[in-house]
Amino acid sequence: MKIESVELLRVGMPLVSPFRTSFGTQTLRDVLLVRVITPEAEGWAECVAMADPLYSSEYAGAAHRVMADHLLPRLFAAGGEVTAAAVAPALAPVRGHRMAKAAVEAAVLDAELKAAGVPLSRHLGATQSHIVSGVSVGIHESVPELLNTVGGYLTDGYARIKLKIEPGWDIEPVAAVRKHFGDDILLQADANSAYTRADARHLAGLDPYGLLLLEQPLEEEDVAGHAELARLLTTPICLDESIVSAQAAHEAIRIGACAIVNIKPGRVGGYLEARRVHDVCAAAGVPVWAGGMLETGIGRAANLALAGLPNFTLPSDISGSDRYYRQDLTEPFRVTDGTIPVPDAPGIGVAPIPEVLDQLVTQRETLRPTG
Ligand code: NPQ
Ligand code: MG
């Protein structure tokens, strides 16, 4: 396939309500889109880096610059001739910047699959046509307000609730949600690395509440700490931020740092590496589930395809479009009977609605192969 040009677009997506996590409160999603234009087809992808480097060291402004200055020149090195499988090797000399690399690869992959008429789900080897939909619930001002929000999501049909926690907002909200909604709801918690090893005894206070898992309690680099913590808790430990590659997943599992893995393609450098993470976990008997980064319909569509792989056996963080956005960039994704269907059209199966994109776009830049 020959790339004619790549367009980088910045889009400002207002959230339906503020989303507070242990690393801050978000009210607007600063989305970086990648559009790959070839004579046969056009590919779209979304970079999941946030506006600020709070979830990880990557952020949208840096992802934009590294794409324009380092990744796209390498992609264009063969005069624009490229295959999706060759993208990661071509970008490998650049260290880190996995979210940026993931988006470049995903846009090429979408163009390639749209040209070939093959859905991403089929290309990746998905076996599930509907993905069980969970929802991530931010830190609230009070327990009554939290119960009201959770009740609304259960009414919407979400099959699993994830509570964001931090020191000072952990045991009490978990206990209250368990007591109010009963033992049957699927419940888990995500700390986004807000604790230290010294908090082990305190975190063991979550054990009586039957959580499916506790996600990333300690910092990204402290994989050994998670192994230590796992021995002190009965609640299964799941890693998110720490799992930056299939290699990292293999090592974390080997030392007993996690019993479950959250898979986000952006965090591991692409959908092809994400499939390798899936495979490493499957071989070790470790179940996985699809994470979420407040994606628009572009990222959400691709995540649904990946989440169809057989070892994705726990409910996803892939929610309906209306959980985050009043107006999505694509046709909205809806939750029915607690699931969202995997798109079955070629590539990611969707593209931005031109009028919506024009309305929300804040910046566009076009880059071309030279010669
Ligand atoms: C997680 N996602 O699992 C992340 C964290 C997260 C759905 O909980 C803007 C962009 C805001 C990315 C807030 C969920 C975000 C973001 C939270 C990612 O850890
Ligand atoms: Mg997480």
Please tell us whether the domain made up of 5-117+354-367 is placed in CATH 1.10.10.10.
no
CATH superfamily of 122-341: Enolase-like C-terminal domain (3.20.20.120)
pLDDT of residue 344: 97
Distance CA 63, CA 348 (A): 22
Return the amino acid letter for 37: I
Q: Which among 146, 149, 2, 27 is positioned nearest to 81, based on CA atoms?
A: 2
User: Averaged in consecutive runs of 10 residues, what is the pLDDT profile of the chain (371 residues)?
Assistant: 97 97 96 98 98 97 98 94 96 98 98 98 98 98 98 98 98 98 98 98 98 98 98 98 98 98 98 98 98 98 98 98 98 98 98 98 96 60
| β-sheet bridge partners, residue 163 | 137, 189
164 tagged catalytic? yes
Q: What are phi and psi of 347, to 5 degrees?
A: 65, -140
Residue ID of nearest Cα to ligand 1 atom 12: 293
Backbone φ, ψ for residue 29 (5° rounding):
-100, 120
Contact yes or no for 302/265 (Cβ under 8 A): yes
DSSP 21: E
Q: What letters, b where the CB count within 10 A reaches 16 and e where it falls short, cover 92-115?
A: eeeeebbbbbbbbbbbbbbbbbbb
pLDDT for res 299: 98
Q: Give span(s): CATH 3.30.390.10, the chain.
A: 5-117+354-367
Enumerate the CATH 3.20.20.120 domain ranges in the chain, comma separated.
Answer: 122-341
State the distance from the centre of ligand 2 to the C-alpha of 291, rounded, in angstroms: 7
- pLDDT at site 78: 87
The rounded Å distance from CA 241 to ligand 2 centre is: 7
Closest CA relative to residue 31, chosen from 54, 15, 16, 51: 51
Contacts of 233 (CB under 8 A, 6+ apart): 200, 203, 204, 206, 207, 214
pTM: 0.98
- Ligand 1, closest atom to CA 29? 9
Q: What confidence score (pLDDT) does residue 371 get? A: 60
Q: Which helix (H) or strand (E) holds 62?
A: helix 60-66
**Cβ–Cβ < 8 Å for 17, 365:** no
Indicate if 264 belongs to the active site.
yes
Which of the listed residues 16, 29, 294 should we mutate to test ligand 1's pocket, taking the one with most ligand atoms within 8 A of CB? 294
State the Cα angle at 272 between 316 and 349, rounded to 5°: 65
